[in-house]
Copies of this chain bind each other. A is one copy, B any other.
């Protein structure tokens, strides 16, 4: 007893409007077309859907029941068109964004929040990973975009990379750390304190190796590893340990006044944080909007950083 979904919708429209002509008008059709649809539906069902010979058109129990389902179809259809409209305009949909953990936690999560203020209809799905995982996530279309530091090993021409922040690491420590009393701490001073290792696979790990090399040490006194940014921050704030962190991450967390950075120059990675996308990925306007938002906010961040540094220089 499979019946035509279009007919069910028309039935619902007719019952909602209280007449064949009105229902037809609602659907942008003519009365005879709808009338015939109803006849066909009745013929298929084999039972009357309307009580014959009654002017304010009156449905039978079955007609009423079927109209319920017709209404469901009607609303689903309307929602589908809404979804397409929203998708085309980018005002609704889902954005799946992957990123390296520390940046996601310190910066992007807040940006997602501010994005949601503007675009309440868009759902953002966040996931974590380092560059290789993110790239394969893009390849498998598991994520729409990745926010990651990308350096000399650009993943390839199949990808678009939008640079949003030059890589810049600092040695972070708690506010009031013993080394902060010195105007210029030396390499040997740094080696005297315990260190926090970055997450395995993180580019910060190679950065840390480079730092070791540059200050002529074979190994550091690693006392903590594997923590998320929040864990690292907690550890850092409650100990004299040191950690290599992106400058922007430390900057973003300056309000909390728990960690700061040592005035110690370390070799900088040839890397930039940016948005990575597959060029051949299907267009997701919601993702476009999200990327635009991210770029805009990062741009603001750059200016804030600049103003902040100028201010610091002046007050020195």
List residues of A whose CB falls within 8 A of some B CB.
Answer: 1-3, 5-6, 8-9, 45-48, 51, 58, 60-62, 64-66, 69-70, 72-73, 76-77, 79-81, 83-85, 87-88, 93-94, 96, 141, 144, 281-284, 286
From B3, B81, B141, B284, contact of A3 by CB (8 A): B81
6 tightest A-B CB contacts, nearest first: A72-B76, A69-B80, A60-B282, A69-B76, A65-B83, A73-B76
Q: Which residues of B contact A94 (CB under 8 A)?
A: 61, 64-65
C-alpha gap A5/B85 in the complex (Å) = 16
From B60, B62, B141, contact of A51 by CB (8 A): B141
The answer to whether A62 touches B77, judged by C-beta atoms less than 8 angstroms apart, is: no
Main secondary structure of the interface of A (DSSP, over half): helix
C-alpha gap A141/B88 in the complex (Å) = 48
C-alpha gap A87/B61 in the complex (Å) = 9
Task: Give the Cβ gap from A59 to chain B, nearest Cβ, in Å.
Answer: 9
C-alpha gap A210/B139 in the complex (Å) = 92
The answer to whether A62 touches B81, judged by C-beta atoms less than 8 angstroms apart, is: no
Contacts A61-B93, A61-B282, A282-B48; A1 near B81 (Cβ below 8 A): yes
C-alpha gap A46/B73 in the complex (Å) = 23
The answer to whether B8 touches A77, judged by C-beta atoms less than 8 angstroms apart, is: yes
From B76, B144, B282, B286, contact of A47 by CB (8 A): B282
Q: Which residues of B contact A69 (CB under 8 A)?
A: 76-77, 79-80, 83
Contacts A144-B61, A282-B62; A8 near B80 (Cβ below 8 A): yes
The answer to whether A93 touches B65, judged by C-beta atoms less than 8 angstroms apart, is: yes
Task: Give the Cβ gap from A295 to chain B, nearest Cβ, in Å.
Answer: 21
Q: Which residues of B contact A3 (CB under 8 A)?
A: 77, 80-81, 84
Contacts A5-B5, A5-B9, A48-B282; A84 near B62 (Cβ below 8 A): yes
Most buried by B among A47, A88, A282: A282
Most buried by B among A64, A79, A80, A282: A80
